[in-house]
Structure 1
Amino acid sequence: MHYEGPIYRPPSEADSLLVQATVGCPHNRCTFCMVYKGGPRYRVRPVADIVRDLDEAAERSGGEVRTLFFPAGNTIAMPTDALCRICRHARKVFPHLERITVYGSSQYIHKKGLHGLQQLADAGLTRIHVGLESGNDAILKAIRKGTTAAEQIEAGQWTLAAGIELSLYVILGIGGVAGSVSHATSTADVLSRIVPDFIRLRTFVPKIHTPLLQMVENGRFQMLGPHGVLREAALLIGHLDADAQLTSDHYTNYINLDGRLPECRNRLLGEIDTALKRPERDFRPFFVGHQ
């Protein structure tokens, strides 16, 4: 098995086999992300090398693998034919495989088009984890996400239409104090129009070696405190109109929120209201992220 550069996977892929398909991230401009700022540069591993790793993993495991994740940061950007080939090979050598998953940004999903996504679904790709971050165009531009709300909506709708599960990540607080309300309401609107399978909440933590940390330090970006983040979460959940599983499975969050929308909306809002009665000093302290 061969790995190069930082290897990250979603918490929900903790038990998955990790076979690296790409290196780095083809966009690598997001102001909040530190993962690949120091390299390596983006490239797609040769299909033959990925196949060898799959074969090695199959031999070691006796083919008893049920979930597979293909790192690195934006594997959906690899050529459709190549990604289809490794998905099909994985299905061949792991006969009990239930899920094949990748990371993918909306702009690269959008480039596939519905036809390309259908090809990937037919080859065995079952889920894409997407950093939506925000549904507000001004915030997306400010954080250099490289996409727009309209593009994210279309990419998400195409993914679901192709029969691929969609897990969307939202960063609470990424609009700062000034953009909190517009971030929450615009993001709720985008999520409601996509209706993903999963909505996963993260809380903005400034990371080392990132432009957004510099903005925090020089006062150009005013972060929300714990109560501000919780109020933003309540506004987001209150405006959501989607049948989706919402979860906050991440160490950055102030409280754990988990439930099926819309039936769990009132319970989730009640949990936030209870948390807001606690003084801010009771929540985790401010910190700068190193991973």
Structure 2
Amino acid sequence: MHYEGMIIRPPSEANSILLQVTLGCSHNKCTFCGTYREKRFNIKKDDVIFSDIEFARAHCRRQNRLFLCDGDALILPMKRLVPILERIRDRLPWVERVGVYANTKSIRMKTDEELALLHNLGLKIAYMGLESGDNKVLEAIRKGADADKMIAMGKKLKKAGIKVSVTVLLGLGGRKGSLDHARETGRVLTAMDPDFVGALSLMLIPGTELHDQYVKGDFQLLGPDEMLTELGAMISATNLTDGLFHANHASNYLPIRAHLPRDKEKTLELISRALDGKVALKPEYMRAL
């Protein structure tokens, strides 16, 4: 495979074929994220991509899922993306699902008919970084979209039959904005009604604007109990039709895997017990991005 730079994929794509079709992220302005700072966004050449598909045909026959890297492969124009998906279907017929990161800009650029076509060609899941449903937080982190746009684009994906997995970031509102961040995020998740929610806990990365704000004292990082309190408030405000709410990322203090709405009360009780010291939390040295 012709990988360039660091490769990032969702935790649920750990066993997937990783096909790098773009370099970096088309937005690359979020204040908390340092993943693609060293990469200038670019689309890789078809001959390189198709060569990697042939490599996967020869060496990845036990992997039935494929993830298109890097940060926002859905930004590819249809004239580039359709042939890639067609080649995957033709040369890797055992692949049952293709996944991709997506942001509001890349989703908005595709019509309903185009998204439906991509779904029919194998694009079955898209991962959206909501981060927060609080517009004040979204503006502060330079996300490039407000809550209404997030809701509309999530619904647009679902209308095309593409499953939606949404990432939210605990602690992103800081200490003063914690409960607003939690409640507004729950409100937006309810409106989007995604198939999956992944809650990560904020870990500051040196070299990012948010880390600089923390060093200057302009941003206060939440402690473990504050993170759990925020998570409880977020789950309380989230009403999904039928979705999985995960907070079992390596960054989290308390692993949670809940099927909402069925497990809502049981999950809130677990968080309450953890806050009372009856359930052990992950020690700081074991947390990771």
Q: TM-score range by the shorter chain?
A: over 0.9
1:7 alignment partner in structure 2: 7
Q: Deviations over 1:49-82 (max 9, x none)?
A: 2112101220234x45411011111111111231
The residue aligned with 2:106 is 108
What is the deviation of 1:164?
A: 0.6
Is 1:264 the counterpart of 2:266 in the alignment?
no
Matched, 1:96 2:70: no
* SS in structure 2 of the partner of residue 83 of structure 1: helix
1:169 is aligned to 2:164: no
The structure-2 alpha-carbon separation of the partners of 1:287 and 1:28, relative to structure 1 and needing over 3 Å to count, comes to farther
Residue 236 in structure 1 maps to residue 223 in structure 2 = no
Matched-pair contact (CA < 8 Å) for 2:96–2:122: no
CA shift, 1:227, in A, is 1.0
Is contact 2:274–2:281 with CA below 8 Å preserved after alignment? no
Does the aligned pair in 2 maintain the 1:225–1:280 contact within 8 Å?
A: no
Deviation by residue 1:169-198 (Cα, 9 ceiling, x = unmatched): 010110011111111111111111111110
Matched residues, percent identical? Answer: 35
In structure 1, what is the equivalent of residue 140 of structure 2?
A: 142
Q: Which residue of 2 aligns with 1:187?
A: 185
Equivalents in 2 of 1:281, 1:158: separation in Å?
Answer: 40
1:33 corresponding residue in structure 2: 33
Contact persistence 1:67–1:99 (CA under 8 A): yes
Alpha-carbon distance change, 262 to 56 in structure 1, aligned in 2, over 3 angstroms: same
Letter in 2 for 1:212: L
Q: In the alignment, residue 179 of structure 1 is paired with which amino acid?
A: G
Q: Matches of residues 63-74 of structure 1 in structure 2 within 5 Å?
A: 63-74=61-72
User: Which stretch shows the higher mean deviation, 23-32 or 98-107?
Assistant: 98-107
- Cα separation, 2, equivalents of 1:108 and 1:90: 21
What is the aligned partner in structure 2 of residue 50 from structure 1? 49
What is the aligned partner in structure 2 of residue 158 from structure 1? 156
CA distance in 2, matches of 1:32, 1:94: 36
Q: Tell me the alpha carbon deviations over residues 216-257 of structure 1, each in whole angstroms, 9 at most, x when there is no partner.
A: 111100111111111111111111111211112311101011
**1:19 equivalent in structure 2:** 19
Is the aligned partner of 1:252 residue 2:251? yes
Partner AA of 2:236 in structure 1: G
| Separation of aligned partners in 2, 1:98 and 1:280 | 39
TM-score, normalised with respect to structure 1: 0.94
Whole-Å separation in 1 of the counterparts to 2:174 and 2:111: 33
Alignment check: 8 A CA contact 1:136 1:183 kept: yes
Partners of 1:15 and 1:57 in 2: CA distance: 13
Q: 1:168 to 1:225 in 2, by over 3 A?
A: same
For residues 165 and 41 of structure 2, the distance between their equivalents in structure 1, rounded to whole angstroms, comes to 23
Give, in whole Å, the separation in 2 of the partners of 1:111 and 1:146.
Answer: 15
Structure 1 counterpart of 2:56, one-letter code? A
Q: 1:72 to 1:246 in 2, by over 3 A?
A: same
Q: Following the alignment from structure 2 to structure 1, what is the Cα–Cα distance between the partners of residues 245 and 260?
A: 7
* Unaligned runs of at least 5 residues, structure 2: none
What amino acid maps onto 2:41 in structure 1? Y
Q: Which amino acid aligns with 1:271?
A: L
Equivalent pairs counted in the alignment come to 288
Change over 3 Å in CA distance of 1:120–1:26 after alignment to 2: same
1:210 to 208, 215, 235: 208
Q: 1:150 & 1:16 partners in 2: Cα distance?
A: 32
Query: CA RMSD, aligned part only?
Result: 2.0
Question: Separation in 2 of the partners of 1:204 and 1:2?
Answer: 31
TM-score, structure 2 normalization? 0.94
Counterpart mapping for 1:122-133 below 5 A: 122-133=120-131
CA distance in 2, matches of 1:129, 1:42: 19
Alpha-carbon separation, structure 2, partners of 1:96 and 1:120:
18
C-alpha distance after superposition, 1:5-63 (max 9, x if no partner): 210111111110111110011111100001111x22000112232112101220234x4
Structure 1 runs of 4+ aligned residues shifted over 4 Å read 279-283, 286-289
